[in-house]
Structure 1
Amino acid sequence: MIEVRVPATSANIGPGFDCLGLALNMYNSFKAEEIEHGLEISGCDEEFKNEDNLFYKSMVKTFEIIGYKAKGLKIEIGGDIPVSRGLGSSASCIVGGVIAANEISKAGLNTYDIVNICAKIEGHPDNTTPAVTGGMTASIMKSGDVVFDKINICEGLKFCAVIPDFKLSTERARQVLPKTISYNDGVYNLSRTALLISSLINGNFDLIKHGIDDRMHQIYRGSLIENYEDVIKKCYDFGAEGAFLSGAGPTIMAVLREENQNFSNCMKEFLKSINKKWDVKELKIDTKGAMVIRN
Structure 2
Amino acid sequence: MTQVSPAQTPGNATFTVRAPASSANLGPGFDSLGLSLPLYTTLRVTPQEATEVVPLGPGLQGTPADESNYVYQAMWLAARRAGRPLPPARVEIETEVPLARGLGSSAAALIAGIVAGNELLGCPLDPAAVLDVAAREEGHPDNVAPALFGGIVVATLDKLGTHYVRLDPPAHLGVTVLVPDFELSTSKARAVLPREYSRADAVHALSHAALLAAALSVGRLDLLRHAMQDYIHQVWRAPLVPGLSDILESAHEYGALGAALSGAGPTVLCFHDTREPTGQLHTYLHSVMARNGLTGQVMDLPIDPAGTLVERAQVAWAE
TM interval, shorter chain, is over 0.9
Distance in 2 of aligned mates of 1:51 and 1:187: 45
Identity of aligned residues (%): 33
CA displacement at 1:265 relative to structure 2: 4.4
Aligned partner of 2:311 in structure 1 is 293
Distance in 1 of aligned mates of 2:151 and 2:114: 19
With over 3 angstroms needed to count, the CA separation of the structure-2 counterparts of 1:250 and 1:103, relative to structure 1, is same
Distance in 1 of aligned mates of 2:249 and 2:77: 43
- 1:42-79: CA deviation from partner (whole Å, max 9, x where unpaired): 31323332333211100012112213323533211112
Deviates further, 147-156 or 42-51? 42-51
With over 3 angstroms needed to count, the CA separation of the structure-2 counterparts of 1:40 and 1:199, relative to structure 1, is closer
Deviates further, 50-59 or 36-45? 36-45
1:88 counterpart (87, 92, 104): 104
Tell me, yes or no, if the aligned pair for 1:238 and 1:267 is still in contact at 8 Å: no
Q: Does 1:283 align with 2:301?
A: yes
User: Residue 26 of structure 1 aligns to which amino acid in structure 2?
Assistant: L
User: Residue 9 of structure 1 aligns to which amino acid in structure 2?
Assistant: S
Tell me, yes or no, if the aligned pair for 1:22 and 1:136 is still in contact at 8 Å: yes
Aligned partner of 1:139 in structure 2 is 155
CA displacement at 1:145 relative to structure 2: 1.1
User: Residue 289 of structure 2 aligns to which amino acid in structure 1?
Assistant: L
- 1:22-57: CA deviation from partner (whole Å, max 9, x where unpaired): 111221111122321243323132333233321110
Q: Does 1:11 align with 2:29?
A: no
CA displacement at 1:275 relative to structure 2: 4.1
Q: Does 1:28 align with 2:46?
A: no
Q: How big is the alpha-carbon RMSD for the aligned residues of Structure 1 and Structure 2?
A: 1.8
**1:1-295 superposed matches below 5 A:** 1-43=14-56, 44-261=60-277, 262=279, 263-268=281-286, 271-272=289-290, 274-294=292-312
- 1:154-210: CA deviation from partner (whole Å, max 9, x where unpaired): 211100110111111111111111111000000001111122122222222221111
Tell me, yes or no, if the aligned pair for 1:264 and 1:282 is still in contact at 8 Å: no
With over 3 angstroms needed to count, the CA separation of the structure-2 counterparts of 1:233 and 1:184, relative to structure 1, is closer
Distance in 1 of aligned mates of 2:259 and 2:272: 9
SS in 1 for 2:63: helix
Distance in 1 of aligned mates of 2:153 and 2:52: 35
Distance in 1 of aligned mates of 2:160 and 2:238: 31
Runs of 5+ consecutive residues of structure 1 not aligned to the other structure: none
TM-score, L = length of structure 1 = 0.94
User: Residue 79 of structure 1 aligns to which amino acid in structure 2?
Assistant: T
- 1:3-33: CA deviation from partner (whole Å, max 9, x where unpaired): 1111111111100111111111221111122
Tell me, yes or no, if the aligned pair for 1:131 and 1:290 is still in contact at 8 Å: yes
CA displacement at 1:120 relative to structure 2: 1.8
User: Residue 41 of structure 1 aligns to which amino acid in structure 2?
Assistant: V
Tell me, yes or no, if the aligned pair for 1:99 and 1:114 is still in contact at 8 Å: yes
User: Residue 226 of structure 1 aligns to which amino acid in structure 2?
Assistant: P
Distance in 1 of aligned mates of 2:127 and 2:51: 30
Runs of 5+ consecutive residues of structure 2 not aligned to the other structure: 1-13, 314-319
Distance in 2 of aligned mates of 1:154 and 1:70: 40
SS in 2 for 1:215: coil
Deviates further, 199-208 or 14-23? 199-208
- 1:105-143: CA deviation from partner (whole Å, max 9, x where unpaired): 103322111111111222211110111111111111132
SS in 1 for 2:204: helix
User: Residue 83 of structure 1 aligns to which amino acid in structure 2?
Assistant: L
SS in 2 for 1:46: coil
CA displacement at 1:234 relative to structure 2: 4.8
Tell me, yes or no, if the aligned pair for 2:176 and 2:301 is still in contact at 8 Å: yes
Distance in 2 of aligned mates of 1:152 and 1:61: 29
CA displacement at 1:249 relative to structure 2: 0.7
